[in-house]
Chain A
Amino acid sequence: MIEEKKLIFRFKRGNRDALRGIYDKFKIDLLKLAVVLTNDVNAAEDIVHDVFLRFAQSAKRFKLTGSLKSYLVTSLVNRVRNIHRNRARHNLIQMDKADSVASSGRSPLQWAVLSEQITQLSQALQELPYEQREVICCRMEMDMTFRQIAALQQVSQDTVKGRYRYGLTKLRSLLNSKGKKCNPQMT
């Protein structure tokens, strides 16, 4: 935590290495989170890029009240929710019902490189209601506590636990039914 505070202190003074440190520390986790939440790698790249850009633009006025990870995740999740809202509002194909675009139309010069496993996981997660997916992904990918997720979703911890339980059961069943080839050890 003290290390993080030092990093933020230097970042606020325009230190390149501090920004580099923050960027390298969180970029992969944030990209993964965005991919599994959206099942759209292009949108995920845009979202993470935007999260870091906004963060960088706020350098001078930035004040951290919790952890940097929570701040970045909240920023990312808000953007994912905006995309959902906008798509629904414009009556376009809903992200969670759309076919996966995770591996289509990608050139070697694009930012994120996905493994087969993340593509499959991401597709399976789209079958879950968005709120459940958010809970599972924040818990599994970012190691967030139920309390932190409850604050993020602005619901009670019990609600979060309920979403987590239902989400896990459904995801387990989906992954099993989609074939043991995804994960043969699955029970």
Chain B
Amino acid sequence: MQPADDIRNVFKQAELGVNEQPDEQVFEQILQAQQESLRSRQAAQNKWRIIMKNPITKMSAAAVIVVGCFLGHLLLQGTDSGIALGDVLEKMNRIKVYKYQINSTTTDLQTGQLKRETQGTCLISADYGIRQSTETVDPNGSNIPLWEHYTLLHEKTTIAVFHDKKQYMQVEFTESTFDEKKKSASDPRYMVQQLMDCNYISLGQSTLEGIKVEGFQTTDPKYHWGMLGTLDVKLWVDVQTRLPVRLEIASQYKDKSKRHMVVQDFQWDVIVDAREFEPNIPQDYTSMTSEPITMPAMDEQSAISGLRLILEKTGSYPEELSMKIMEHMKDLIDPNMMKQMKVITKNGKNMPSPEVMQKYLDAVKPITGLVWFHASLVREGKDPAYYGKVITPDDKDQILMRWKVSDSEYRVIFGDLHTKTVSPEVLAELEKTLPRQ
């Protein structure tokens, strides 16, 4: 073989460097991926250990693994693109501006009739925020502007403009609550993230509007905190670009109604002007509240305030800390105020006065703070646990809620709502004394 030193020299001289700023950004993304992977793995392992203690579970699990491997093999054969949802999300997060269409229909399950049909566009900019416009389709087929919603990044504010009511609502957020707010159920990034956090399956490859796509599906009830009822979520990703082509959520709320939402017609990296994010509020529109609404902080104090309010109104703690608490709002708020507020849900035309609306929102604020705080602990992998099903205010030294502060510390809210920081060992001892659920 001829000596290859000459070619080796050419390779050596062919230099490549990196720009510091993007290099740091890439590293931070990689670091984040590592940390997230370790967090989710840890959570999964904890659950796994508990489940595997049961001998019947062990046998069932063995069967599931065998079947799972077989199915996995079949799935792998069918999906040679091997798209990972993490990659899809990561790619979406790298795109600064994009636009898409949302169509939604709601059908009354009792009558089988179409209750509402809406269509809208959404523009998302990493620099400015989110603007969503929605129209409804009337029986004659005409489009009637319904509402516009602005999420303004710099102001940490959302503004909703309701054209049918000629009113608007402004909500101001803190840094942490704003992060939570950005997780709109119809934001495709959030939808992909939610899908990743649920049990999902691959639907294999298919063709959609001439594009080769790979599908993913979940029916996991924990999607969007279980607020959407029974559901079926499907995501179709372009095999070539690894970006979403279509997202569908079919959900059914009890036996009352079913909703079908489709997010599609994505346009990636569109040109955007800051003026598109300036809220358009016509002169004759009035504010729904007497002053801008401020959201509660997502911290321990908010959580305790929320728990105390629920305890005062109902005599017990909520069984779980999901958005489902909002369904029981009637038990939590002053009956007179609730009576005035019912007009909102029953008949949107007779809106309560801004003062009444303000009072209502102030009253529900502690509950919102509690739910959001718990959600943020889950999201940040702080190992939260809540025992509202078995703990009462009389259980003064029993754990009502706990979360991890550091590797050596847990914060605990006890049954009588006093708090303490304890070591993991002490926590384990305390949890041993919990009543059976």
Q: List chain A positions with a Cβ less than 8 A from chain B.
A: 11, 14, 16, 19-20, 23, 27-28, 31-32, 35-36, 49-50, 52-61, 86, 90, 108-115, 117-118, 120-122, 136, 140-141, 161, 164-165, 168-169, 171-172, 175, 182-183, 185-187
Contacts and interface: CB of A to CB of B under 8 A. Distances in A.
Interface stretch (B1-9, B97-105, B422-430): B1-9
20 contacts: A14-B34, A16-B31, A27-B18, A32-B16, A90-B240, A111-B22, A112-B19, A114-B16, A115-B14, A115-B15, A118-B15, A136-B7, A140-B11, A164-B1, A165-B1, A165-B2, A168-B4, A175-B7, A182-B10, A185-B6
Interface in B11-50: 11, 13-19, 21-23, 26-27, 29-31, 33-38, 41-42
Contacts of A161: 1
A183 B10 contact: yes
A55 B33 CA distance: 9
Nearest to A113: B17
Contacts of B38: 14, 59-60
A121 B37 contact: no
A118 B16 contact: yes
A13 to B, nearest CB: 8
Nearest to B27: A23
Contacts of A32: 14, 16
B86 interface: yes
Given A59-B34, A109-B21, A175-B10, 7 more contacts: A19-B27, A53-B29, A55-B30, A112-B16, A118-B15, A183-B10, A185-B6
Given A14-B34, A168-B4, A60 B9 contact: no
Contacts of B19: 108-113
B90 interface: yes
A80 B36 CA distance: 26
Contact of A187 (B6, B8, B29, B36): B6
B239 interface: yes
Contacts of A35: 16
A120 B87 CA distance: 32
A60 B81 CA distance: 24
A167 to B, nearest CB: 9
A32 B7 CA distance: 15
B7 A57 contact: no
A185 B2 CA distance: 17
- The range of chain B's interface size is 35 or more
Nearest to A48: B26
A75 B37 CA distance: 19
A110 to B, nearest CB: 6
Contacts of A90: 212, 240
B4 A23 contact: no
A57 B86 contact: yes
Max chain A Cβ within 10 angstroms of own Cβ: one of B2, B7, B87, B212: B7
Contact of A110 (B8, B22, B29): B22
A112 B21 CA distance: 11
Given A31-B16, A141-B11, A111 B6 contact: no
Interface string B72-95: 000000000100101100100000
B36 to A, nearest CB: 8
A173 B432 CA distance: 76
Contacts of A175: 7, 10
Q: A53, A161, A168, A185: which has the most chain B beta carbons within 10 Å?
A: A53
Interface string B180-202: 00000000000000000000000
B33 to A, nearest CB: 4
A168 B34 contact: no
B170 to A, nearest CB: 36
Contacts of A16: 31
B3 to A, nearest CB: 10
Contacts of B26: 49, 52, 111
B22 A140 contact: no
B34 A117 contact: no
Given A61-B41, A172-B7, A182-B10, A56 B33 contact: yes
A117 B13 contact: yes
Given A23-B27, A60-B41, A140 B18 contact: no
Given A31-B16, A32-B16, A187-B6, A20 B33 contact: no
A187 B9 CA distance: 12
A11 B94 CA distance: 25
A171 B11 CA distance: 12
Given A111-B18, A112-B18, A56 B13 contact: no
A111 B15 contact: no
Interface string B284-311: 0000000000000000000000000000
Contacts of B37: 56-60
B135 to A, nearest CB: 36
